[in-house]
Amino acid sequence: MAVLDRPEPGSTGAHASGDDRWRALFESHYRELVGLASFSVDDRETAEEVVQDAFVKVLGGNYRVEPGKELAYLRSMVVNGGRSQLRKRRVRRLHSPAAPEPVAAAEVGGLQGAERAELVAALRTLPDNQAAVLALRYFLDLSEAEIADTLGMAKGTVKSHAHRGLQRLATRLAAPQEGGAS
């Protein structure tokens, strides 16, 4: 680890040691430092960010690096910066929200609404007992025994109303489609 000399009062951090020294380090060792960061992070853009952040921190910091130890200090900053990026990614993965469920296209909802409206309209044309039995069976998913209890009729009567109601619905719902095809 590099030894840091605290700047003298009135100095401006790393700039007091000379921007030329840091510029030369950047130009001659940038690729090497990016390669070092690549061992810690997955992609080149992040590796470049780690290296650039190290230079920004050292230049903007309120300290001077001992002459001759600048490269070692930058390498240390790059390794630590890469570790920090890995920790951040791990935290993001652990706390990222689940992907939203796919939403059906508006046309699907519209078609389902139209089909349901057509079914409800056909259901309303049935005799009351048949409509009630079918609504309780297919919209509320009640059993034949529950429907018999709800409507106060025998289980056999529920079966016959359901059978006749389904036959009439099939006839009524099929008729408009045949007429529209001609």
Going from N- to C-terminal start, the domains of the chain cover 4-95, 107-176
Q: If residue 31 lies in a helix (H) or strand (E), which one and from where to where? A: helix 19-38
> Residue 73, SS3?
helix
> Domain 107-176: which CATH class?
mainly alpha
Q: Could you give the CA distance from residue 174 to residue 23 in angstroms, rounded to a whole number?
A: 81
Q: Could you say which of 1.20.950, 3.90.550, 1.10.1740, 3.40.50 is the CATH number of the domain covering 4-95?
A: 1.10.1740
Any idea which residue has 């230049």 for tokens? 59
Instruction: Give tens-digit pLDDT for 80-115.
Output: 998 898 888 888 888 877 778 877 666 665 666 667
Q: Could you give the CA distance from residue 47 to residue 35 in angstroms, rounded to a whole number?
A: 8
Residue 18 near residue 68, CB atoms below 8 Å: no
> Residue 12, SS3?
coil
Instruction: Give tens-digit pLDDT for 119-145.
Output: 778 888 889 899 889 888 887 888 999
